[in-house]
Copies of this chain bind each other. A is one copy, B any other.
Amino acid sequence: MRDEFRRALATAEDTLAELADIAAAAVAQATVALLDADKDAAENSLQQNQALRARLTELENNAYDLLALQAPVASDLRVLVTVVRLGADVERMGSLAAHIADTANRGSVVPEPLIPVFRQMGEVAQQMAIDAAAALRSRDTADAGRLAEDDDTVDRLRLELFSQIAGDWPYGAQAAADVALAGRYYERFADHAVAIADAVVYLVTGVTAE
């Protein structure tokens, strides 16, 4: 029974890593949509989010089925609880990428001087999701440190957006609102990637990352 449980858990963890990779692709496509007003990229991003959600439901149902097996020991259950919790993180990453794609679909255009800022945010966010997936697969706690650094980069880029909005801003209120919200979406996307890496640290060490 224990072997059966562990195999199913390992499958659930692999699925979670695949979902984080899908989230990485979704945010990359959403960034293309936002910066190049590319409707196809927006559609790709939204479809990736749908795919992610469908597989997540499957993952969660499997996790709850695992609870019906009576043999699991505490350490296995800890992994299972964490998998369910991280499922919520990757779900949010997909939703946030979809919000960015929706912003593009509403015809919102990023003001020219901010394009490099958003491009970098998109690249870092994508890399963070890829690294979170890698951390899930490798259970390497060193990845968590790198993700924290990248998270600082995203926060710094977001402050750059705010300082532009607070300065001389000739692009109107609507663009200010869209830029502020899009910046928020990338920031939250990055936070969820960090949460995944921190959970890997927890799974390996049993100690919560601070």
Complex copy number for this chain: 2
> Which B residues are CB-close (under 8 A) to A162?
177
Nearest residue (CB) in B for A179 is B177
Considering the complex, which residues of chain A in the window 63-97 have a beta carbon less than 8 Å from any beta carbon of chain B? 63-64, 67-70, 73-74, 77-78, 80-81, 84-85, 88
Q: Nearest-CB distance from A161 to chain B (Å)?
A: 9
Given that A165-B173, A174-B176, A180-B177 are known contacts, is A77 also in contact with B67, CB under 8 Å in the complex?
Answer: yes
How many A residues touch the partner, as a band? 20 to 34
Q: In whole angstroms, what is the CA distance A37 to B95 when docked?
A: 33
Q: Nearest-CB distance from A51 to chain B (Å)?
A: 18
Residues of chain A touching chain B, judged by Cβ–Cβ distance below 8 Å, are 63-64, 67-70, 73-74, 77-78, 80-81, 84-85, 88, 162, 165-166, 169, 171-181, 184
